[in-house]
A and B are shown apart, each in its own frame.
Chain A
Amino acid sequence: MAVLTAKRPDTAFPAAKRRRRRISPVLLAFVLVPLVVEGFWVFWPALQGFYLALTNWDGVSAPTFVGLGNFAEMFSDDIFKTAALDTVIWLVLFGGLSAVGGLALATLLQKERRGVGFYRAALFTPVVFSLVATSLIWQVIYQPDGVVNKLLGAIGLGSWQHAWLADPKTALYAVLVPALWRQLGYVMVLYLAGLKGIDPALYEAAKLDGATAWQQFRNVTWPQLRSVNSVVLSVIIIDSLRSFDVIWSMTKGGPYHSSEVLSTYMYATAFQSLRLGYASALAVVIFVLAFGVIVTYLVRAFREDS
């Protein structure tokens, strides 16, 4: 939403122009100091990261320049292919389910009823926990003699019992559940805020026209949520590409790379294999993916708007 209101300064610009000569030094300091700090601690290292992607570097000796060699290596790297595929699966499932589920929950819990605050709070609670702590708890839940298997045994599905995190077929999806469990609450809150911002008069008018619940959703709620959607999309893409902590603390991308995504592969390459050049190249790929998707979407969103 904040993104779309950013057009307004256009009209306020002449006023700012008139006042430009009188910018106080304090104000200037407030702008420039953070910019310098940000530049030094964020932009400069990021640029260095791009440079490192073109080198071989073990973290200790001087990096040697290899051009695009690291990117060429990705094409013959089976683990990279697995990680890229898993990242896509993750993006679709994690992103898709949390957006759909979050919106569904928000619509359900939108109306003020008795006890609705409790449900909202309960669904939002997982967001408050550290993901690492969450993962440790879920690791115990997934243990061979953990809660999931005990429950399955109790309801007579003993044959479904499984070493969830140790089986390459289930590991990625087993890790997805706690990640979703957390993200749902977050997306729900974003959508709740968006739903609150819709003018109730629109619904009244729709009702007068005899619109069904689905028509109300399709023609009132959804278009009104467009600004929230762009926020949700950015959040989801960024969050799924950086879903690292939950995977790393539960499976470390294993067993044998079956739950490897690009972020865990990047970390393992950098800090286990000490191949920082190749890891930087992976980081660049992640960056391009995230940035590319988001910029494309935002550009489209703005174009439709104007």
Chain B
Amino acid sequence: MTSAGLSRRRFLRNASLAGLGAIGSSSFLAACATSANSGPVKQAAGAVTVQSNLSSPEAKKAIEALAQAFGAKGGATATVNTVASETFRTQLPSYLTAATPPDTYTWYPGSLLSGYARKGLLLDVGDVWQTMGDYSAAFRALSGDGAGHQVFIPTSYYWWGFFYRKSNFAKWGVRPPTNWSEFLALCETLKSKGIAPIGLGAGGNTPWTASAWFDYLNIRINGAPFHRELLAGKQRFDDPRVKKIFDPWRQALPYFDPNGTAIAFQDATTVLLQGRTGMVLTGTFFADAAPKDALDDLDFFQFPILDPAVPVAEEGPTDGFFASARTPHVAEVKEWFKYVATAEAQELYIKNSSGTVLPTNPSAKDNGTPLVQKGRKLLTEAKEITQFFNRDSSDALQPTADAALIRFIQKPNELDSILSDWQTAAQKVWQS
């Protein structure tokens, strides 16, 4: 009785979500985003449904191959349901509170996940972790909900850095810098050759890529622990320590591509590959948008150290799966999780994707290119790993960062009001 009443209330709440869309804007996008609440979620009997936001062609192909191999093993089967990542993100609360939710989801660890875990919406997968003994303690800690339960299965991770084309650097006669002043000198050289030294793809639908600069400057100057506290709402954005990190950024600003806030990162990738910009601070996912023949020509260097006293931290975002607590297929879901955690499955995934991600299983092989090995070394040698702005904070906080950072890039002189506006906006998110 009570559970029926509960699910009815939940249903009505979801229906009223649809109503919210209907009142203000019955337009196409909103209608799409809300109307799906009411429709039943596609669910094949017996098969584990994998709700996936991996919609880039390479990644989609890879996860579908993974599901196929899982089915071919005998036992349970899995069906992949790929959803555009923006829709996926906005629908996640509805998925998880639905009476018949999809079983498993692609996602990443972070505050959003532990928030759902606290509300009892996520499946405890501690017994799957029992079979994953050789996984590093860092991944284990990352996959916890902060209350002693494991709710996440990490399958891959990647790194960030300044990516450039080796052939272009050779042509321009420049070398990767090893510290901040060399970095600025490199920018000056490139600028004198008529090249925009620092590419950026913070326009269009990817303003979040600008947060990489904020993250790196903050972990280089204030260190990873302060960075995490700041993003968790325990420090303030208008703190003098935060203000300080914009000084080196201001030094680098004249070297930014003036179109950086007008183009999306896919276009910034093209511009980089064409040699119109010198380098781009990006994660390896940008390689999905690069032609295969350019992949071998790519190299990267670490974000320069600004204060040698601060323990070196790097961004190493981790991806993987979690499951709904309401899944009717608990045994099958855990079988799927055990499978995706194996070295065999992760190697299969890497082989079918663009190959620039690293497997989380310590005995799984990466794709072995010098680039990937260098990336792996970067993360192994780091004292601290951060995930990325939205992962260390929340997706709700990300737009506040986008507004602040794009405004800083365009109007660096308004820094004081930018930071106080940012703090105001962030407080509303933290308090809600």
Contacts and interface: CB of A to CB of B under 8 A. Distances in A.
Contacts of B399: 268, 272-273
B38 to A, nearest CB: 8
A78 B403 CA distance: 13
A245 B27 CA distance: 6
A276 interface: yes
A255 B410 contact: yes
B203 A46 contact: no
Interface in B21-52: 22-30, 33, 38
A267 B28 CA distance: 12
B96 A248 contact: no
Nearest to A59: B93
Contact of B18 (A45, A132, A262): A45
Interface stretch (A109-117, A118-126, A161-169, A210-218): A161-169
A284 B121 CA distance: 30
B22 to A, nearest CB: 6
A242 to B, nearest CB: 4
Task: Name, among A241, A252, A262, the residue most crowded by chain B CB atoms within 10 Å (CB to CB).
Answer: A252
A124 B363 CA distance: 62
Interface stretch (B256-264, B306-314, B372-380): B256-264
Contacts of B259: 144, 163, 166
B49 to A, nearest CB: 20
Contacts of A268: 399
Interface stretch (A19-27, A48-56, A298-306): A48-56
B96 A60 contact: yes
A274 B432 CA distance: 8
Interface stretch (B9-17, B142-150, B317-325): B9-17
A13 interface: no
B173 to A, nearest CB: 27
B24 A242 contact: yes
Contacts of B13: 48, 63
B399 to A, nearest CB: 5
Nearest to B24: A283
Contacts of B429: 273, 275
Interface string A15-58: 00000000000000000000000001110111111011000101
A244 B22 contact: no
Contact of A255 (B16, B18, B261): B261
20 contacts: A44-B19, A45-B22, A47-B19, A48-B13, A52-B16, A58-B432, A60-B121, A131-B28, A132-B28, A163-B262, A244-B24, A244-B25, A244-B29, A245-B29, A256-B403, A263-B24, A263-B25, A272-B399, A275-B396, A286-B25
In order of increasing CB-CB distance, the 10 nearest A-B pairs are A45-B19, A48-B16, A163-B262, A166-B262, A283-B24, A256-B403, A271-B90, A59-B93, A144-B259, A244-B25
Given A255-B406, A267-B30, 18 more contacts: A41-B15, A45-B19, A46-B22, A49-B20, A58-B93, A59-B97, A60-B97, A60-B116, A139-B204, A144-B263, A242-B24, A254-B402, A272-B90, A272-B399, A273-B429, A274-B93, A276-B17, A280-B20
